[in-house]
Amino acid sequence: MSLRIWIAAGTTEGRLLAEELADENVELAVTVATEYGASLIMDKPNVSVFDKRLDDRGMAEFIDEFRPDLAIDATHPYAAMVTETMCRVCEKKNIVYKRLLRPPTDEDCLRFSSVEEAAAWLDKKEGIIFLTTGSKDLHKFATIRNYEERLVVRILPVRESLDKALDNGYVPSRIIAMQGPFSVDLNMAMFKEFQSAWVVTKNSGSIGGFSQKLEAARAAGAKLIVIERPEDAGSSYEEIRSFVKSQTEA
C-alpha cells in the first residue's frame, strides 16, 4: 500500500516538494488556500488538490476523509496560526506531523519584530514606501500618515487580494497585482518607477526572493525594511525528503 501524505502547501518549496514526492510510491493530497494556488500544482494521477481555507474543524474533517499517514506543513513562515492549528489537529488525530522550514537570511537591513512596529516607524519618516508583504496586513500599514499617497502595494493577482487593497483605501494606480518570483531587474524597475525610499518585505529566505529584493533596493537607492518571522521549529527540505524516502522504503 502506498504512503498517504497530506501537504499543506502555499509556498514555492511546498509545490516543489509535491512535485518530487509525486514520483514516489505515495498518494498525495495537496491543500492550498486559493484557486490560484491550486492552479500551480502539477496534474498527476496520484495527486489530489483542494483549494479551501481549513480551520480546526475543516482540518479534522479532511484528515478523517483522506486518512493520511503523514502531514507536511509547507505553509508560509508567517502563517503562524495555520501552523499552530495543523500541529494541534494532527496531534489530536495521531497523525505524524512535519513542519517544512524555509531558511532565513542574515543580510544587513532595518529589521522589525512586527508589522505594527515597522508601520509606526515608517509613519515618522518621509518618502514613498513600496510594500512587498502581500495583502494580509494592508490594514495595518494603512495607519501610516498619508498612506494613500505614500504607499505602493504589490499583491497577488487574485480578487481577494485586490478587494483587500481597495477596501482599505489604497489607490488603484499604486496597486501592482503580479505573481512572483521577480528578478533583480524587474524589482529595481518597479522600485525606481515609484521613486521608492523604502521597500518593505518579510524575511522569506532566498527561495522567497529576498536576495533579489535586497539587491534591487540597493540599486534603486531604497532601504530594505524587514519584518522578521515568528520563531519556528521544524525540518529542512532535505530532512523531510529523506524522511519520506525512508518511509516509502520501509
Query: Tens digit of pLDDT for each residue in 42-101?
Result: 788 888 888 888 888 989 999 999 999 999 998 877 677 888 899 999 999 999 999 987
- Percent of the chain's residues with pLDDT above 70: 92
157-171 pLDDT, tens per residue? 999 999 999 999 999
- What pLDDT does 90 receive? 93
Q: What does R_g of the chain's alpha carbons equal in angstroms?
A: 19
Segment 24-54, tens digit of pLDDT:
888 999 988 877 777 878 788 888 888 888 8
Residues in contact with 170: Cβ distance below 8 Å, sequence separation at least 6, in sequence order: 138, 142, 147, 148, 151, 153
Model-level pTM?
Answer: 0.60
More confident residue, 244 or 189: 189
Is residue 138 over pLDDT 90?
yes
Among 19-33, 137-151, 180-194, 197-211, the range scoring the smallest mean pLDDT is 197-211
